[in-house]
Amino acid sequence: MQVGWIRCPEVVRERLTLLGFVAIILVFLVGFSALYQAVSSLRGEVSSLSRSVEGQGRAIEGLRGEVSAQGNLLRDLDAVKTRISSIEDSLRHLASAKDLERLAEELGRLSAELKLLNTRLTDVNESLRASVGELLATVDNMSRRVEALAELMLFPTTVVDGVGDKVVLFKKPSKIVSLAPSVTETLYYIGAVEALVGVDEWSDFPVKVKEMRDRGEIATVGYWSPKVEVIVGLKPDLVIGVASVPSHRALKSILSPYGIPVVLLPDFKLSDVEESILIAGRATGRVVEAYETLYKFKLAVNYAILLSQKVEYKPKVAAAVWVEPLFVVGGGTWEHDIVEIVGVNVYGDLKSWPQVSLESMLERAPEVIVLTSSYGMVSAEDLVNLLVSSLGDVAYEIPALKNGRVYTLSGDYENSFVRPSPRTVLSIYVLLIVVHPQLFNLTIEDIPQSISPDRLDVISIISKVAPDPVVAFLREGLGG
């Protein structure tokens, strides 16, 4: 090569230049291809890394949320521990029955709050769940101590009942007579049902009370006409009736010579249920349980009100308690208050449970009619037939008839509506579903005309939207 190059320098130089140019192009192409592959690979890695970072970011945000929630729970638990310590200190320095009731109120609220807090814990928070369990056990132990002290410090006590009478109770009652289903149910909720020795003929909740009465283990003492001889023979420490029944009020003076105190629970408005819980708690010495029940009851009622506020329009509602003659729910009753939560009571300007004309249904034009079955004696069909036979086809100008929105409450749903006890809250949710099915992703066609637990599963419907403590309280109203 050296020899040829020496002989032909120009030709060789031209060829060498061309080869060098080609080599440079080849090198560039090879380098560019490698660079392109490297860049593509790097882009893939960057993209993968970006997705990973993005996923980690979401995970970190979730973790932050969990840590924040856990931090809130820890703060709540610390606050509870502080309150428990304060109660323990107060227990050591009790000076009066008022101090004891104040502690009972705090313990009742604490117990309800801890159970509510427990529902906020997930499975991954086992340590927190254990802490809540320990605190619940502590509160339960302290509640028992307060109940024991109540027997010593609250009695003798003076209870102001639903008619404003001051009733003196010398000792914690161990033998109680209930004159009304609502009283029996209230005693059940505050844990005093075991002391019952006599009940009225209508008390059927809890079921074990009815079973014991049917077996003769609990005496039947009457409702409208209490059996004085039977009551006196039972030698009760306390008789509890309701303020709205005249014979219960008369029983006060009849039993007074026998030294048997009679306490009447208020039963006119929905708010009277709250007062009844506290009166029954004080009279029986079950003050902690009374305050816990009160807390749960108010929580359930307030949540129902919150749900009802989501609707823009509340329809006109008529609630009938008997068909022929027609009696309806008027103002000044707990049933009126329930109807007013879900709609507008068209007979709210009247008082108590007035008899009204069939023509008034045309005039007041209810969009929904709810009828109590009186233990299966009347039905929605009975009311519709009566209106049509009396008014003719014009009856179908009543919106409720025209749109097929006439319903009958029966079974536990009826009882919860007509009995002013903590169980009453169940009927509020029943009517919420009936009057506003859209709140629960239901249609009017999904609501049966005859409404009972076996036809409309209120618990499963409510559990989709309500917090666990509310659902648990409603379930208790159906026997657990």
Indicate the pLDDT class of residue 84, thresholds 50, 70 and 90.
Answer: low
Q: In this predicted structure, what is the pLDDT of residue 114? A: 76
pLDDT given for residue 426 in this prediction? 97
How does the average pLDDT of the chain come out, rounded?
82
What lies within 8 Å, CB to CB, of 29 at 6+ separation is none
Give, as one character, the DSSP assignment of residue 259: T
Rounded CA separation 181/250 (Å)? 19
Question: For the CA atoms of 101, 106, 110, 111, what is the dihedral angle to 10 degrees?
Answer: 0
18, with CB counted inside 10 A (0-12, 13-18, 19+), is exposed
Q: What is the mean pLDDT of residues 434-444?
A: 96
Q: What percent of the chain has pLDDT over 70?
A: 75
Across 280-291, average pLDDT: 93
287-332 per-position pLDDT tens digit: 989 999 999 999 999 999 999 999 999 999 999 999 989 999 999 9
Cβ–Cβ < 8 Å for 281, 287? yes
Kindly report which listed range (143-152, 267-276, 460-469) carries the lowest average pLDDT score: 143-152
* Reported confidence tier of residue 457, pLDDT bands at 50, 70, 90: very high
Per mean pLDDT, which of 78-87, 155-164, 230-239 is the most reliable? 230-239
pTM of the model: 0.79
> Token pair for residue 476?
């208790």
Q: Which of 14-18, 51-55, 60-64, 465-469 has the highest mean pLDDT?
A: 465-469
Regarding predicted confidence, which is higher, 366 or 324?
366
Written as six digits, the tokens of 99 are 């101090």
Asked whether the predicted pLDDT for residue 58 surpasses 60, the reply is no
Burial annotation 314-349 (CB, 10 A radius, 16+ → b, else e): bbbbbbbbbbeebbbbbbebbbbbbbbbbbebbbbe
| The residue type at 255 | L
CATH classification number, 299-476, choose in 2.40.160.20, 3.40.50.1980, 3.90.180.10, 3.30.1360.200 = 3.40.50.1980
3-state class of 172 per DSSP? coil
Question: Residue 15: is its pLDDT beyond 90?
Answer: no
CA-based R_g, the chain, Å: 36
Cβ atoms < 10 Å from Cβ of 164: 9
pLDDT at 113: 77
Q: Tell me: the pLDDT tens digits for 239-276? A: 999 999 999 999 999 999 999 999 999 999 999 999 99
Pair 329, 364: CB distance under 8 Å: no
Q: At what angle do helices 287-308 and 334-342 cross, to 10 degrees?
A: 40
Residue 480 has what pLDDT? 57
pLDDT in tens, 414-431: 999 999 999 999 999 999
Contact 312, 395 (CB under 8 A): no
Separation between Cα atoms, residue 446 and residue 405, nearest integer Å = 11
Inform me whether the pLDDT recorded for 72 exceeds 90. Answer: no
- CA 254 to CA 58: how far, in whole Å? 74
Residue 153 has pLDDT above 90, yes or no: no
Share of the chain above pLDDT 90, in %: 64
- The CATH topology of domain 157-283 is Rossmann fold (3.40.50)
Give the residue from 428, 371, 443, 378 showing the smallest Cα distance to 401. 371
Stretch 60-87: mean pLDDT, rounded? 53
Bridge partners for 262 per DSSP? 239
pLDDT at 440 over 60: yes
Where do the structural domains in the chain lie, given as residue ranges?
A: 13-153, 157-283, 299-476
pLDDT at 203 over 50: yes
pLDDT beyond 90 at 410: yes
